[in-house]
Structure formats: structure tokens, C-alpha cells
Amino acid sequence: MRNYEAPLPEMFPPPESHRPTLIGEQYMVVAGHPLVAQVATNVLDRGGTAIDAGVAAGLASNVIQADMCNLGGVAPILLKLADSETVWNIGGVGVWGQGVDVGMYTARHGTDMPEGAACSVVPAALDAWITALKQFGTWKLSDVAREAIKYAEDGFILDRRTALAYELMGAGFTKWNESARVYWPNERPPIEGDRLCQHDLANTLKRVVSAEMGVTREESLENARAAFYSGPIAESIVKWVQSDGGWMEIQDLENFRNEVTNARCYKYKDWLVHTGDVYCQGPVLLQALSILSRFNLEVLEHNGPEYLHLVIEALKIAFSDREKYYGDTNYTGASVDQLLTEEHIEELANYIDMNSVVPDLVTMSVLDSDDTRRTNTRKRDTTNFSIVDSEGNAFTCSPSDTIDGNPLVPGLGIMVSPRGVQSRINLDHPACVQTGKRPRLTPAPALALKHSDSEFPQIMAMSACGGDVIPQGLLQMFLNFVEGGMSPQQCVEAPRIATLAFPDSFFPHVHDFGRLHVESRIDEATRADLTKRGHKIKVWPSYEFDASGTAMVVDLRQPSGTSRVLAGGADPRRLLYALGR
């Protein structure tokens, strides 16, 4: 019987977001593709941890999202274990091979960085997956790779958006016969409903897994790793790189190991936010937060003109430090601790004028050209996923390197990471080309912890895609939660802005000073106000693909709660999908 004292339907508020915020107690997964989310939840349902599920999701991403990432590409990871508050960073990006430096590079290519092996670095993704599993996981590689192998061998049905990606990217990869054979198998763009099979990739994965033999689990994983980084697979990689004019020796693969380090962090209000070090652009998020901490965001209208001006100016200034200081931490003198000192952040914050944009001189790197065109920039893309389980294990990652970046190596079904496009051919730049050096990486996940009265901290696992927009998407998503009081799904759906007022991370590193992209859902009055302050507005459509695709998993439990309440937000700008239990 109806309760006539209950509110009538028209008295309820409108939905807070287009999708509901998903809630779970045992686990929460937000992944870049629905099938990848299913792979992760299958592992969790069978007793695996978030780490095991993360490795399985990563391997599955390399198969299901070959338009966004690759087994021969990059895979930066942040993770924590249930019994520890230490957040670990697995670098996830390869190094330049032997015999190359700026002088050698320019002698061969001048001021150009041509496609192909000329921008290839050692593949890092597989080593990152195995490193995470070996040091922090519990399962065997054969178990976490099972579904990736199945999807590569038997294929999977393409959804409309993924099929469209292969059509649009075809201009980049169909000039390579091996890539065209796999991804346009019928000599035409694939369409929704087609089955995509990657038999060579399946065989490569099976060769790696079949080598997983040893007395201990750790020894078995080492043997599996060796099957890729030495022997016939490594020889095929080196043969292709050298034949195409790149720099790589078998020793470069044999000696390569992803660095496992403590993540860098900054405390913003009650949240300790972690990212990778300055080998990637993760600390842009930390520096922007530290600059914003000098201002009282609480008194400003959330996503109003003053708030947005302040956020974008903080980002521009943080990006200027990226240009001046960021590079492989084994080769540069910069440290996050130095860049986050009170004195340095105060100096940066003083550049902000609430009535005007920061002068171009502040955001410009003197090391770059005066070319202000953002055309013909060699854009790549990325996917991402974030996972937290009820025990407090967390895994967040942004795998990358796409099939239009390099051709597939014949017989392997993988490409060799073209991440060298994010290095500089300028000796004075901290991210310059050098043997053994990592390019300055754009993919950069984040993980935040908040202490309360309970025995374990709340967790917020975040990830994003979108090149130079990655830290911008992360910052806005995080602030939507902490300052705006939004639900996780609201946080990822809220209208977004992005600045391009700095040299692009991708060759040829052009810039567009003053340019501010604003999604159309930000009202005209706010856009007019920002224009008066000096921003050169370009309006994006609602839910713009290039505005980053973000994922958030956060523990919503109250301080007195004894169990986790895990909530997931999945950005509709991409194919991100949340699943929980």
C-alpha cells in the first residue's frame, strides 16, 4: 500500500549525474573499457587482490584497447598494499638505447623526429605488469594473463566507438602493412559488430607465459620476463629497430628494469596526494595543489569565473616548472621536494593576478621555438583504470602508446614504444635524448590517502588519459570532490577546462600561449568573464573527448565506519566503465 505521507515524485531533485555513482563493499573497478572492467572483476571474484586484478586489467587493456595502449608501450603504476600506507610508483616507461645522444640524433635527423624507430625506446609495459605482480601481487602470470590471451586469440566484438577509433587512426597505421593486416583485416575500416583477432599478440603472450617455470613464484615470474627481454622476442625487437634506423641493442632490453620507488606526495587539506616523480608530469598536480593552497577556494563559487581563473593559472605556472625542471630523475638535478618548498611555491603563487592572466614570459620555456601553431603535433592517446578492494589494496594506472605511433613488429603483434616523441633534441633541455634516459612521460595516475578516526585511511584512486590534459583532468576531478562536495560520478562528469599555454609534450613541442579550452556547459557569462581576464577562449562541445577521460574510486565511509564503502565514477567522455560488488 502506498504511503501517502511520502514525498511525491515531482518533489525529488533531478538526477545528480547522467550515470549513477556505483557503490560497492568488496571492491570497485573503473576501467577504460567495459570488457577490461569485467576482466578485473573476474579476478577479484576469484579471490585475487586489487594488485592481481590491476595486472590482469593492464594485460587485457593491451589487447582490447590496442587503439590506446600496447604491450610494447608504457604503463606507469601507483599502488598500495592493505597492510601499509606506503604508496609505490612503478615507472612504466622505457629508456633510449645505446649509442644515441642529441649530437648523434641531430646528425642523423637534423631538427626532425621522424616516425618509426627513430623515436623508439625499450618496451616497458610487460616489465611493469610482471614487476607489480612479483613484488606486490599474489597470483601467477598465467592466471592473470588468461583472459588477455583469450581475447587476443579468439577475438572480441568491436563496439561502435572502438571501431570508429580504428577507422580514424587508420591514416596513421595503414601505411604499415603489418599493422593494416591486423587492424584493417578486410582492407577496410572495421565496423561495429566486427570481431578483432590478434593472433601474433596471443602467441607472444603465450610464449611469455609458457616460460613461467621455477621453484618459487618469484623465480617463475623472472623466467617469464626473460622470455620477452632476452632470446628470440628481444632479438626480433632489436632487429626491427635497427633496420628502421633506431638505436637499440639486445643489452638494452636485457638490462632494463622499471624503477620501483616511493611515490612523491603533497598534503592538500586532509588528503595526502601521491604521484610519480619528475620523470613524468605527475608532480604538476602536486605543484598546482600547493599553489592553490595559498588561496581560499572555499569562498569562491565552485567552477565560477574566479575559481576557474585561479585553477587554470595555477596549472599554467606548474607547467612552466615542468618545462624548466622535469626529466628523468637519474639524469636531472630537480627533485619534487625542492619544487614544493614553501619559498618556491610562494614565489610561484605570487605570479597570479586575479584580474589578469599570467604573462607569457612566465609560462614560456626559453628552450623552445616561437612556433605557436598546435598543428601536426604527433598526438598519441592513453587509457586508464583504478581499482580498490575491501582490504585496502589499491592499483591505479595509465597504460599508453597507440598503434598509429609505430608499426607492429612482424610476428610479435606488438610495436616498440614510440615514447621518444616526448624527449627533446635540445641538449640544454632536462628531457633531452640520451642513452639510458627515460622520455618525460605524460601518463601519470594519482592516489590519495586521508586519515580519520578509523584504523585505516580512506583511499582515493585516480587516473586519467589525454596527454597534457591528464594532470588537468586529475586536478579538476579531485577538487570537485574535496572543494565542490560532488559525488564521484559528478566529479568526472562536471564541465572541464584545459590550458595549452605551454610547450606541448609531443614533438614538435609547439605551444599556444593564452589558449583556454572550455566545455560548452560552462555558461556564456563565465566564459565572458574569463575572456575579460585575458584568456583566449575556444569552446569545446559538451563531454569533449580531448578534455581527458577520468576515473575515480574513493572510500566514502564515515570516520566511525568499520568497513569500506567504495564508490566509483566513470567519465562518459571515453569508454570508461565502473563495476563493483
pLDDT score recorded for residue 372: 42
User: Within 10 Å of residue 17's Cβ, how many Cβ atoms?
Assistant: 17
Specify the residue for cell string 588477455.
148
Q: What is the largest CA-CA distance in the chain?
A: 84
Query: Do residues 519 and 544 touch, judged by C-beta distance below 8 A?
Result: yes
Strand pairing category for 515-519 and 536-540: parallel
Collapsing DSSP to helix, strand or coil, 411 comes out as: coil
Query: What are the pLDDT tens digits along the chain (581 aa)?
Result: 456 676 666 666 788 899 999 999 999 999 999 999 999 999 999 999 999 999 999 999 999 999 999 999 999 999 999 999 999 999 999 999 999 999 999 999 999 999 999 999 999 999 999 999 999 999 999 999 999 999 999 999 999 999 999 999 999 999 999 999 999 999 999 999 999 999 999 999 999 999 999 999 999 999 999 999 999 999 999 999 999 999 999 999 999 999 999 999 999 999 999 999 999 999 999 999 999 999 999 999 999 999 999 999 999 999 999 999 999 999 987 899 999 999 999 999 999 999 999 987 666 554 444 444 444 444 558 999 999 999 999 999 999 999 999 999 999 999 999 999 999 999 999 999 999 999 999 999 999 999 876 678 999 999 999 999 999 999 999 999 999 999 999 999 999 999 999 999 999 999 888 899 999 999 999 999 999 999 999 999 999 999 999 999 999 987 666 789 999 999 999 999 999 99
Residue 40 lies in a domain: no
Tell me what pLDDT residue 375 has: 46
Residue 487 lies in a domain: no
Confidence (pLDDT) at 139: 98
Which runs of consecutive H residues, i.e. helices, occur in 270-378? 283-292, 305-325, 336-339, 342-349, 360-363
pLDDT value of residue 15: 83
**How far apart are alpha carbons 580 and 26 in whole angstroms?**
7
Q: How far apart are CA 367 and CA 503, in angstroms?
A: 10
C-alpha cell at 454: 578509523
Whether residue 112 is contained in a domain is answered as: yes
> What's the pLDDT at 11?
64
Is 558 part of any domain? no
Q: Quick one: residue 466, left, alpha or beta (phi over 0 = left, psi -120 to 50 = alpha)?
A: left
pLDDT for the residue numbered 472: 99
List the beta bridge partners of residue 214.
Answer: none
- The whole-angstrom separation of Cα 348 and Cα 352 is 8
Q: Which helix (H) or strand (E) holds 10?
A: none
In sign, the C-alpha dihedral spanning 516, 520, 522, 528 is: positive
Q: Which string of b and e fits 144-164 if b means at least 16 CB within 10 Å? A: bbbbbbebbbebbebeeebbb
**Per-position b or e across 436-456, b if 16+ CB within 10 A of its CB:** bbbbbbbbbbbbbbbeeebeb
H or E, element range at 271: strand 271-275
In a domain, 294, yes or no: no
Supply 468's cell numbers.
597534457
- φ, ψ (nearest 5 deg) of residue 376: 60, 15
Q: Is residue 386 part of a domain?
A: no
Query: What is the rounded (10 degree) CA torsion for 48, 54, 55, 56?
Result: 70
Structural domain range at position 188 = 57-72+87-260+402-422
- β-pair partners for 30: 386, 578
On whether residue 373 sits in a domain, the answer given is no
The pLDDT of residue 6: 65
**Does residue 515 contact residue 360 with C-beta atoms inside 8 Å?**
no
Which pLDDT belongs to residue 369? 43
Count CB-CB contacts under 10 A for residue 351. Answer: 16
Tell me the three cell numbers of residue 293: 593552497
Number of structural domains the chain divides into: 1
Residue 224 domain-assigned (yes or no) = yes
Within 155-216, residue ranges assigned H as helices are: 160-173, 177-183, 199-210
- Amino acid 512: pLDDT: 83
Determine which helix (DSSP H) or strand (DSSP E) holds 359, and give its type and residue range: none
Q: How far apart are CA 148 and CA 201, in angstroms?
A: 10
CA dist., res. 461 & res. 90, Å (int) = 15
Residue 258: which of 63, 414, 74, 385 has the closest Cα? 74
